[in-house]
Amino acid sequence: MDLKPGIFLYDVDTKSIGILIRRFWSYEGMYYPSYVQGTHDHFKVWIWEIVWSRPGMERISESGLINLIKADIIIILSDT
């Protein structure tokens, strides 16, 4: 699945429209000593920041978002 910033989504549950803002590593911006940064890559998780018409901003793991799309809970409206 090719997710990228700018894609519009529809949440069937909350009936809200969302837009993918950015994708980042789960520990981006957090301080980790250099000896930890290179050795714990298996703890990295891609996160998507989404802004919804309601309830607002949300951060969700990429795998979780893909599962919600596969389950037709979140529908891709536009594929920019």
Q: Please provide residue 60's backbone torsions phi and psi, each rounded to the nearest 5 degrees.
A: -140, 145
32 pLDDT exceeds 80?
A: no
Strand segments (E) across the chain: 8-11, 16-25, 46-52, 57-61, 74-78
50 pLDDT exceeds 90?
A: yes
Whole-prediction pTM value?
Answer: 0.79
Assigned domain for 79 exists: no
Assigned domain for 1 exists: no
The count of domains in the chain is 1
Assigned domain for 80 exists: no
Which of the four pLDDT bands, split at 50, 70 and 90, describes residue 40? low
31 pLDDT exceeds 60?
A: no
Assigned domain for 61 exists: yes
Assigned domain for 34 exists: yes
CA distance 71 to 80: 22
Domain containing 55: what range?
8-72
